């Protein structure tokens, strides 16, 4: 059987920011708008994002995972352009997403995540998206999506799963344990963070659950950097992989836009997974940065 290739990108923060009315920029959005106009518009670029996605298409992955932060301020005018961008990445049966904290930036438009993008985050057994966790079987993969996206106070970017979602995740992992599937957990927030204002607040509970039930791979975004850590699983360690923002120019300690390709195949009685990192340079050309065997 040929290897199955999963592409992973995150945090497109789809530029440019649409025009906003004064009434839209109350509360937390005011801080985000100032940050965008003073800083982020300089390095979150649509031409960067388009170059990265064009290269991704050239690699012809079997499936694409996007781990959140499609929009910036969760303005009503941002959701349909993000849907159109998703359709350019691929159809809902070829692309799986989970939301990020910017997609749930304010409580008022939080329902728009499922309304606008529901077919991209619907499980195989559900008619519509918006219920987490969800499960999608694609080739040898079991893609399990959870949502850490919750509205937070100004200057906070924390995430939270909650007891209900964690209990449902445990049931999902138990259900697929008997199947010979390569289990991939998709989440926006990293499982460990030194930044209190950006952490997953119930990460300890999630880490304990994964130590007991296991997955083969965890993919996340949020930090806008290349990241690989290893966490305890029931039969060894589990790789947890983060990726830079898909629309970013290099700035400060943040690298330029990149995405990952994971080649997954059965190797005898075990899994083999190889990671290839492809990133953009200052001429908006995408090249291979590294190749690593994870499993």
Give the model's pLDDT for residue 114: 96
Q: In the predicted model, what is the mean pLDDT of the chain?
A: 96
DSSP string, 245-256: BTTBPPBTTBPP
- Could you give the count of Cα atoms lying within 13 Å of 203 in the half-sphere of its Cβ? 17
Give the model's pLDDT for residue 23: 87
Which 8-state DSSP code applies to residue 100?
-
**Which stretch of 52-66, 113-127, 182-196, 215-229 has the lowest confidence by average pLDDT?**
113-127
- In sequence order, the β-bridge partners of residue 141 are 138, 182
The answer to whether residue 22 scores a pLDDT higher than 90 is no
Question: Of the candidates 149, 131, 133, 143, which has an alpha carbon nearest to the alpha carbon of residue 201?
Answer: 149
Domain count, the chain: 1
CATH number of the domain at 136, please: 3.60.21.10
Question: Of the candidates 247, 243, 225, 283, which has an alpha carbon nearest to the alpha carbon of residue 47?
Answer: 247
- Residue carrying structure tokens 């926006």: 188
Which 8-state DSSP code applies to residue 19?
P
- Could you give the count of Cα atoms lying within 13 Å of 217 in the half-sphere of its Cβ? 29
The answer to whether residue 159 scores a pLDDT higher than 70 is yes
Q: What is the pLDDT of residues 234-283, one digit of tens each?
A: 999 999 999 999 999 999 999 999 999 999 999 888 999 999 999 999 99
**Exposed (0-12), middle (13-18) or buried (19+): which is 133, by Cβ within 10 Å?**
buried
Answer for the pair 25, 33: CB distance below 8 angstroms, yes or no: yes
Provide the edge-to-edge strand list for the sheet that holds 227-233.
134-138, 141-145, 182-186, 217-220, 236-242, 227-233
Query: 21: domain range?
Result: 4-293
Beta-strand ranges (E) seen in the chain are: 4-9, 63-66, 95-97, 134-138, 141-145, 182-186, 217-220, 227-233, 236-242, 258-267, 270-280, 286-293
Answer for the pair 215, 206: CB distance below 8 angstroms, yes or no: no
Give the model's pLDDT for residue 21: 87
- Cα torsion through 11, 14, 15, 21, rounded to 10: -120
The answer to whether residue 128 scores a pLDDT higher than 90 is no
The answer to whether residue 148 scores a pLDDT higher than 80 is yes
The answer to whether residue 138 scores a pLDDT higher than 90 is yes
Give the model's pLDDT for residue 212: 98
Give the model's pLDDT for residue 203: 98
Provide the edge-to-edge strand list for the sheet that holds 95-97.
95-97, 63-66, 4-9, 258-267, 270-280, 286-293
Q: What is the pLDDT of residues 169-226, one digit of tens each?
A: 999 999 999 899 999 999 999 999 989 999 999 999 999 999 999 999 999 999 999 9
The answer to whether residue 1 scores a pLDDT higher than 70 is no
The answer to whether residue 97 scores a pLDDT higher than 90 is yes
Which 8-state DSSP code applies to residue 121?
S
């Amino acid at each position: 059987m040929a290897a199955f290739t999963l592409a992973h990108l995150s945090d497109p923060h789809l530029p440019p920011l649409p025009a906003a009315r004064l009434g839209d920029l109350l509360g937390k959005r005011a801080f985000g708008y100032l940050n965008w106009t003073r800083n982020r518009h300089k390095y979150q670029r649509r031409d960067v994002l388009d170059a990265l996605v064009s290269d991704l298409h050239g690699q012809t992955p079997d499936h694409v995972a996007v781990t959140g932060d499609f929009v910036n301020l969760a303005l009503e005018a941002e959701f349909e352009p993000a849907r159109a961008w998703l359709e350019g990445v691929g159809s809902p049966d070829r692309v799986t997403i989970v939301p990020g904290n910017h997609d749930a930036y304010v409580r008022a438009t939080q329902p728009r995540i499922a309304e606008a993008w529901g077919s991209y985050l619907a499980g195989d057994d559900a008619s519509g998206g918006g219920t987490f966790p969800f499960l999608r079987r694609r080739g040898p993969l079991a893609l399990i999506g959870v949502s850490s996206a919750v509205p937070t106070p100004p200057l906070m970017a924390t995430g939270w799963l909650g007891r209900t979602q964690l209990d449902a995740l445990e049931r999902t992992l138990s259900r697929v344990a008997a199947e010979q599937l390569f289990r991939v957990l998709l989440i926006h927030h990293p499982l460990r963070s030194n930044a209190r204002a950006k952490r997953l607040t119930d990460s300890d509970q999630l880490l304990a659950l994964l130590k007991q039930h296991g997955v083969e791979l965890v993919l996340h975004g949020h930090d806008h950097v290349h990241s690989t850590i290893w966490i305890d699983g029931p039969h060894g360690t589990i790789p947890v992989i983060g990726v830079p923002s898909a629309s970013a120019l290099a700035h400060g300690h943040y690298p330029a836009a990149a995405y990952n390709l994971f080649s997954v195949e059965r190797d005898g009685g075990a899994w083999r997974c190889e990671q290839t990192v492809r990133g953009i340079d200052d001429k908006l050309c995408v090249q291979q940065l590294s190749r690593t065997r994870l499993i």
